[in-house]
Structure 1
Amino acid sequence: MSKIKVKQEESLSIKFIHQMKVGDNRRLDLYFFLPKEMGIGPQSMNEEQYYHSAITGRRSYYSSGLHLPLVQSRFASQKKRTVEEFRLYLNLFAYQFSVAIETDSKELEQIEEPENFFNSLQGLCDLVSQLLKKFRRNEPSDPKLKSYFENADNYLSWFCEQRLLKLLSRAPRGSEYSEVLDASIALCRAESEHRKTKRYNSQQTKDDPNRISNKMLLLRRLIQQGVVLKEEMKTLGIGLKKMTTGFATAMVMLVVSALIIKAQGVFSGLTIALVLTLAVIYGFREIFKEDIRNALWRLIQKGRPKWSRILRDTNSQAPIAKQLVWLDFMKTTELPDKVAEILKRRHRQNKLDAEVLHYGIHTRVTQKEFLAGYTSIQEQVNFSLAPFARHLERGKAKIYKEQDGKISNDSVERRYQINLILAVKDGKDEVQYARYKITMNRSMIIDISQSELPEGIEAIV
């Protein structure tokens, strides 16, 4: 299995997922090649706005067995554990469980072939049923622990029911799959009855969609405590940007002052001509000041990280990892040699001019051991392509055909292909690469496929 996975998340978003161990030092670079016909570039899209509005991440402790009932081994000696330890391990299992079900259900949503869809749905229902049964066998009797268990059980029951109902609402219709549909609905009803029997939620809460949704969001945040790492973001270069603004202003004022002195030498005394000349000089100052500052800042900022992030354990507050983040548009002449070589492998018809959007992230993981039982952390970063889609044209073309003297036409959609090259460097190892083709239109991602690399370039394994 590849150390880094790239896959579709929603209709207009993709994500990459990877894990890092204690002491890892990893640099990840993603190069998005956006055809110029898409109309996306530094003039039409601000990188910082895109980063804050369209790129989201989730970083947490990770277990390689997402579908394993970790709760059994963690709770085997409940009497020997403190309340905080019990809550921590309970949260670990509940979080891993919810992430696994969320991941599986999103992948299932992408399946269009009915037979594969219902086979996968049956497997997901069996998995949910088994895990919930094993989880509930370990319900504690101690009142101090029971409230934490009930919160997790309430959320997992509701969350699994919601994910299954969402899948069923989009399921293909067909009488041949009625058994799977009935079994899935029966599981949803059983979970609803379970929460009712346990009296987890009041009738008022159940009757109000807003109240039940907000309550479950609160419960999810509670089970993330101690599992999802706390993030401390910092924008870099604020002081440097102020200095750049001051320097640009000084340079402009130097030119303006020289022009004013020159004008006073040409016009004797305070005349209308002198006043008009000074007005023109100050007008040009306001026009060019911003342009000079922006150009100077782009030159200074080029190649520098824009943000830093510290990841902390939410319980101990100990730093787990430090990250530097880049996001900027690049010129094709600035690309690393091997990235440019990979790009040359494109078919002749795909060799179009493109704007290059570069995202980079450099992570240094602490040398200290993680939480007991965990040897790695997982990072998942989502990129929404919706801001790209807003610039795309709607399909208006028609294809005509003739058959038996009758002429008919079919509407066709306009599709665009984005090339994505991924580069990863672990410590002092050689850089490894992967290339993907993302085919999309204005409303959705049509396909994500991985392409072969030229000979002599090491692929990500």
Structure 2
Amino acid sequence: MIRLERKDEQTLKLTRELGEAAEHRLDLYLFIPGELNVDAQIIPEQEFYLQGIFVNRTYSSRAQLAPLVQSRLISRSATQSDRPDPKYRLSLSLYAYQYVIAIEAAGRNLLSTGEVSREEIGELLELTSTILKRLRRNVPKDSGLSRYHVNIDNYLSWQTEQQLLMLAARLPFADDQQDLRDILVKVAKREHQYRDEQKYNSSVVNDDSTRMSNKMRLLRRLIEYPITFKRKTQELGVGEQRWLKATVAAVVMTLVSFLLFESRLILGDITAMFLLVAALLYGAREFFRDDIRQKIWLWLRKGRPKWKHTYVDVNSEQTIGRSLEWLDYMPYEELPEEIRKARKGSAPQRGETVLHYRNDSKMLPTRFLSGYVETRESIVLDLDLIMRVMNPSSHSVYRVSDNEVVEENVEKRYVLNLVVRDVEGDGRVILQRFRIVVNHARIIDVELSE
């Protein structure tokens, strides 16, 4: 299942869990309203790729609230001595990351059902309490590892508090279920009190929500770094482009030299007429050379990948996967039939600009960390480049209210459609369409279309 959510005012975050299959293919078709007149001249593909698409992969597991590395971590913590285990940081990060992903997934599942179950709330609270207690049972003796443990414990406590308070605020509790809301708030307060007792954060940070959020964002990065794959990028076709440039220059120069030689034979000695012909030939060379090279280059690279990535485990420094990526503008008529059906295109919609991103990857699960056979991919889409060409104006809308004509000022909004197709190695296909409502400054709403 693919999930798309708003990350901040101008960015979207697409997340997908990659199963045990080694090969995967992802296609993103972004339909941009035709009135914006977006094309390769306004927003070049490479510019959008470099500034608007950010991809990372981490280890993942289907075990939701029971981290796979749990037993290994506890045993290492219990036997910690004056000689610290060099893999302790990795084990602790794996433990914390699995817990964070699990509690976030549990929160989303509870909110998506629209119902409150005492059993589910009770299980969530019991498991969070058990996992945090196991983490806090043994603190490493080494001072460096102890500080790392404190940072992880600080973040997990804060994240647990935030998730429980979110559920208390958003879940539709019935009148006879208000005690569940009180329990969630009570456990959240207990985590807050725990951090105060441990003196994890200064009073200045505790009193400033912005500073606290920024600090926790940095601690989240601390957790994710050891389990996030290093991504090495290589742009394809660079050497081919140089050879094409040299070849076109040689052919055009040969043609111009031949024409100059013929002109010299016809016109005789160097005269004003010969100089005029030479100037026209050199001008024509400059006029056509770049156009010829560009058209040949587009023909050669059409349908071929533009970037190659290598994924490296930051712990073992082993290559554990590779991927190829495409980014092109596509005419509506060239879209696959299933994509057009998913878009539900009509005559007005065929004026839309379609930006197609493709990602083909092949992983090597045999080189993964012990206990892990799956990965999790996050793609951040920054819509800032598209928002820059949007009209910031507003207009008036009139309506009748109590027999009075009311004038309302309405901002101009645009609807982007994102069709996502995920193909696994076994041939299983997931096809989804999302509607993204935006204005010139921010993303207003993201919804999954039926």
TM-score, normalised with respect to structure 1: 0.76
Q: Which of 84, 91, 94 is the equivalent residue of 1:92?
A: 94
Corresponding residue for residue 363 of structure 2: 365
Match status 1:289 vs 2:268 = no
One-letter identity of the residue aligned with 2:294: N
One-letter identity of the residue aligned with 1:84: P
Deviation at 1:186, TM superposition (A): 4.7
How many pairs does the alignment contain? Answer: 430
One-letter identity of the residue aligned with 1:439: V
> Can you list the C-alpha shifts for 1:320-365, whole angstroms capped at 9, x where unaligned?
211111111122333223323444x34x475341222111111112
Distance 2:182 2:79 in 1: 45
One-letter identity of the residue aligned with 2:408: D
Corresponding residue for residue 333 of structure 1: 333
Aligned CA distance change for structure 1 residues 133 and 446 (closer, same or farther; 3 Å)? closer
Distance 1:151 1:104 in 2: 23
One-letter identity of the residue aligned with 1:444: I
Aligned CA distance change for structure 1 residues 61 and 69 (closer, same or farther; 3 Å)? closer
One-letter identity of the residue aligned with 2:387: A
Corresponding residue for residue 323 of structure 1: 323
Partner SS, residue 274 of structure 1? helix
Partner SS, residue 378 of structure 1? strand
One-letter identity of the residue aligned with 1:263: S
One-letter identity of the residue aligned with 1:193: D
Show the 5 A alignment for 1:34-433: 34-68=32-66, 72-78=70-76, 79=78, 83-99=85-101, 130=129, 133-134=132-133, 136-143=135-142, 145-157=145-157, 186=189, 190=193, 193-196=196-199, 220-343=220-343, 345-346=344-345, 348=346, 351-368=349-366, 370-402=368-400, 406-429=404-427, 431-433=429-431
Partner SS, residue 75 of structure 1? helix
> Can you list the C-alpha shifts for 1:48-86, whole angstroms capped at 9, x where unaligned?
111111111221111224544667533332256871333
Aligned CA distance change for structure 1 residues 271 and 339 (closer, same or farther; 3 Å)? same
Deviation at 1:218, TM superposition (A): 6.7
One-letter identity of the residue aligned with 1:190: Q
Distance 2:205 2:405 in 1: 59
Corresponding residue for residue 449 of structure 1: 448
Percent identity, aligned pairs only? 31
Asked if structure 1 preserves the Cα contact closer than 8 Å seen for 2:318 and 2:367, the reply is no
Deviation at 1:393, TM superposition (A): 1.4
Aligned CA distance change for structure 1 residues 61 and 267 (closer, same or farther; 3 Å)? same
Query: Where in structure 2 are there 5+ consecutive unaligned residues?
Result: 116-120, 171-177
Partner SS, residue 27 of structure 1? strand
Partner SS, residue 360 of structure 1? strand
Deviation at 1:23, TM superposition (A): 4.7
Corresponding residue for residue 119 of structure 1: none
Distance 1:387 1:181 in 2: 42
Deviation at 1:90, TM superposition (A): 0.7
Deviation at 1:246, TM superposition (A): 1.5
Asked if structure 1 preserves the Cα contact closer than 8 Å seen for 2:65 and 2:127, the reply is no
One-letter identity of the residue aligned with 1:148: Y
Asked if structure 1 preserves the Cα contact closer than 8 Å seen for 2:68 and 2:371, the reply is no
Distance 2:211 2:270 in 1: 72
Distance 1:194 1:263 in 2: 92
Query: Where in structure 1 are there 5+ consecutive unaligned residues?
Result: 117-121, 172-176, 452-461
Asked if structure 2 preserves the Cα contact closer than 8 Å seen for 1:252 and 1:285, the reply is yes
Corresponding residue for residue 26 of structure 2: 28
> Can you list the C-alpha shifts for 1:386-441, whole angstroms capped at 9, x where unaligned?
21111111242211235677543112232323232222322252644333333332
Asked if structure 2 preserves the Cα contact closer than 8 Å seen for 1:312 and 1:318, the reply is yes
**What RMSD in Å do the two structures reach over aligned CA positions?**
4.3
> Can you list the C-alpha shifts for 1:124-156, whole angstroms capped at 9, x where unaligned?
x96998478425532335337534323422454
Structure 1 range deviating more: 378-387 or 418-427? 418-427
Aligned CA distance change for structure 1 residues 5 and 204 (closer, same or farther; 3 Å)? closer
> Can you list the C-alpha shifts for 1:219-261, whole angstroms capped at 9, x where unaligned?
5555335311121211111111111212222233233224323
Aligned CA distance change for structure 1 residues 399 and 303 (closer, same or farther; 3 Å)? same
> Can you list the C-alpha shifts for 1:238-286, whole angstroms capped at 9, x where unaligned?
1111112122222332332243234334433223333333233323322
Asked if structure 2 preserves the Cα contact closer than 8 Å seen for 1:395 and 1:412, the reply is no
Partner SS, residue 394 of structure 2? coil
Deviation at 1:214, TM superposition (A): 9.1
One-letter identity of the residue aligned with 2:307: W
Distance 1:97 1:408 in 2: 52
Corresponding residue for residue 175 of structure 2: none
> Can you list the C-alpha shifts for 1:294-341, whole angstroms capped at 9, x where unaligned?
222111111111111111221112222111111111223332233234
One-letter identity of the residue aligned with 1:273: M
Asked if structure 2 preserves the Cα contact closer than 8 Å seen for 1:128 and 1:160, the reply is no
TM-score, normalised with respect to structure 2: 0.78
Distance 2:130 2:192 in 1: 17
Asked if structure 2 preserves the Cα contact closer than 8 Å seen for 1:59 and 1:378, the reply is yes
Partner SS, residue 26 of structure 2? strand
Distance 1:229 1:388 in 2: 29
Distance 1:272 1:349 in 2: 58
